[in-house]
Structure 1
Amino acid sequence: MCLLLRLWPVLSLLLLAACDQNQVFEKNADFDSYTWTVQEKPAFEFEIQDTTQRYNISFNVRNASMYGYYNLYVKHQLFGPDGKPISALLHQMILMDPQTGEPRGKGTGDIYDHQFVALRNQQFRQPGTYKIVLEQYMRQDQLPGIMAVGVRVAKAENK
């Protein structure tokens, strides 16, 4: 039963992702011992074919309630099919309300899932395989309570 409760957020995200026609890519990287060390820099590769389409790139974060901060700083580096850097930005993601400490993500028990739009209406100039690397940018080498991070790429809706 406990295992089912821990897997429920993952299963619900998978079911929602299966229904999303705009999703191009989504993958998460789990951390051993539920700790993101500064040396771990998860890389995600995704394929873009339609260069006329704009895309939203989101970051997924899974944390346990034992995570000691209300926010998480993550730096991304995006590389094109030619291996050249396209962008590098520092993102602050608010995981818990700074005043109350209440989690802002969705979850059950003490595990919470968050999704933050990091790059809105991104345009890719050439078709091919792109790579995005995530790096934790907090002021300590180990972040206990960060269980996984990931990347989601979806077609931006035209308005």
Structure 2
Amino acid sequence: MKKVMVLFVMALAAFSCDTNAVYSAYEDIEDGKWYVKNAPSFTFEIDDATIPYNIYYNLRNSLSYGYYNLYLTRYLRDASGREIESRLDELILLDPKTGKPNGDGLGDLFDHKFLMKRNYRFPKSGRYTMQIRQYMRQDPLLNIMSVGITVEKATPAN
């Protein structure tokens, strides 16, 4: 019976995966202490530069996180290491008035998926790297558990 249940759960997980995702990865932040010098990098392949992509931040924080927002600087580089763009983004993790957490929570942890770029067209097919650095002026920034990105093929509905 246990084997059947495990196989059912695995099959359900396989069918529930997002077929538009071409890349998705997280990096755990050790002990929930995100140091400024720790700038996770995510390297992915774009096979078709003729179609648009949506790029998302993935973030997990503890309810003990001390702010309602999070400032991140992102750097997108091509295969040669040339910076295509950099930008400072503000992510809203909690309602600033009520303190109610945004995202999906289970216990003390909350997962977030924030749109970073909508319908982005990469300059050409190839390898790209997205690097993310916290920009909160607190070093280390406490209670951020993991950070990552998802790159999805854009569909007309999104």
CA distance in 1, matches of 2:15, 2:97: 32
2:31 counterpart residue number: 33
Note the residue ranges of structure 1 that are not aligned, 5 or more in a row.
1-10
C-alpha displacement of 1:87:
0.9
- How many residue pairs match? The answer is 146
Please point out which of 71, 96, 99 is paired with 1:98: 96
Deviations 1:41-60 (CA, angstroms, capped at 9, x unpaired): 00000000101111011001
| Cα contact 1:36–1:146 (8 A) shared by 2 | yes
Note the residue ranges of structure 2 that are not aligned, 5 or more in a row.
1-8
Deviations 1:100-124 (CA, angstroms, capped at 9, x unpaired): 1110010111100000001111111
1:124 counterpart residue number: 122
| Cα contact 1:17–1:23 (8 A) shared by 2 | no
Alignment of 1:8-157 (within 5 A): 15=13, 19-157=17-155
CA distance in 2, matches of 1:56, 1:97: 25
C-alpha displacement of 1:93:
0.2
C-alpha displacement of 1:17:
8.8
TM-score, scaled relative to structure 1? 0.87
| Cα contact 1:81–1:127 (8 A) shared by 2 | no
TM-score, scaled relative to structure 2? 0.88
Letter in 2 for 1:79: R
Between Structure 1 and Structure 2, whose CA radius of gyration is higher?
2
CA distance in 2, matches of 1:124, 1:34: 33
CA RMSD of aligned residues (A): 1.7
